[in-house]
Amino acid sequence: MGIEERYRRVAQQVAQTAREAGRDPGEVRLVAVSKTVGLSGVEAALAAGARDFGENRPDAIKKKAGEYPQARWHFIGNVQSRRIPDIVQCASLVHSLYQERHVARIDEAARRLGKVQDVLLEVNVSGEESKSGVAPGQAGALLRACEPFANVRVRGLMTMAPQGDKAVAHACFEDLARLHARLRDGLDAQRADAFDELSMGMSEDWQEAVFAGATIVRIGRAVFDDAFDEADR
Ligand SMILES: *Cc1c(COP(=O)(O)O)cnc(C)c1O
């Protein structure tokens, strides 16, 4: 099966799962994580209707966003200070902000470009050492630290679940959804309106994420890797 067919199938499955979860399929955005493929892979997904792509390296997002500016580009990788201007130039949404020291730099880069940078706060819900993200108990402080910066708009939260156990992944996603609701309750009306995104769920666990309230799923292998099939889920 080629990328076009895989993308269409995954998009249908995401919409179907949203319906099964009693949700409007329009509430769940599919970000095709194209980090393992080149321009031709992106081209194939675009032809199948993909409009949102995720990349985890500044060089790759720069190259691909430059080539396909009609798509929305999501930065999902580790943010490094010196690459912030490149990231801000390309990304419609940065999913992976968790260091307070980066907020002022993102604000500055966005101001220079005359944009407001939408960001998500990455939360390490599971507490695994291999994962980046702010601890759940620190997310509120990070959210407040963003408030003085007019060119940074916090749109919600992002997490990655531990791999290998769907029940654990589901619990992790529900924790993030609860944290999101709690933080939103503490915001003023305008900020609360914008704080409406939950980025969670990858090839192996996106269904659990949709049931837990994901508004964005980030799917790589199920779209781009021919070796990934139903049996892997
Ligand atoms: C690679 C990656 C994904 C996609 O993972 P798959 O298992 O290939 O679907 C999602 N989110 C982040 C942050 C990633 O780095």
120 in Cβ contact with 199 (< 8 Å): yes
230 CA distance to ligand 1 centroid (A)?
A: 17
Look at residue 227 in the predicted model and tell me its pLDDT.
Answer: 87
Query: Which residues are bridge partners to 117 per DSSP?
Result: 152
Phi, psi of 96 (to 5 degrees): -125, 40
Shortest-distance Cα residue to atom 13 of ligand 1? 76
SS (H, E, C) 51-103: CEEEECCHHHHHHHHHHCCCCEEEECCCCCHHHHHHHHHHCCEEEEECCCHHH
**Does 230 score more than 80 pLDDT?**
no
pTM of the model: 0.97
Separation between Cα atoms, residue 226 and residue 159, nearest integer Å:
26
Which one of 163, 202, 206, 208 would you pick to mutate in the ligand 1 pocket, going by the greatest count of ligand atoms within 8 A of its CB?
A: 202
Digit-coded pLDDT (tens) for 112-150: 999 999 999 999 999 999 999 999 999 999 999 999 999
219 CA distance to ligand 1 centroid (A)?
A: 6
216 in Cβ contact with 199 (< 8 Å): yes
Separation between Cα atoms, residue 27 and residue 213, nearest integer Å:
9
Separation between Cα atoms, residue 39 and residue 179, nearest integer Å:
37
Separation between Cα atoms, residue 54 and residue 73, nearest integer Å:
6
Digit-coded pLDDT (tens) for 41-93: 999 999 999 999 999 999 999 999 999 999 999 999 999 999 999 999 999 99
33 CA distance to ligand 1 centroid (A)?
A: 6
**Does 231 score more than 70 pLDDT?**
no
Mean pLDDT over 162-188 rounds to: 97
Cβ of 35 below 6 Å from ligand 1:
yes
Sign of CA dihedral 130, 133, 134, 135: negative
212 CA distance to ligand 1 centroid (A)?
A: 18
Look at residue 233 in the predicted model and tell me its pLDDT.
Answer: 57
Tokens at residue 109, please?
A: 């880069």
Cβ of 152 below 6 Å from ligand 1:
no
Nearest atom within ligand 1 for CA of residue 219: 9
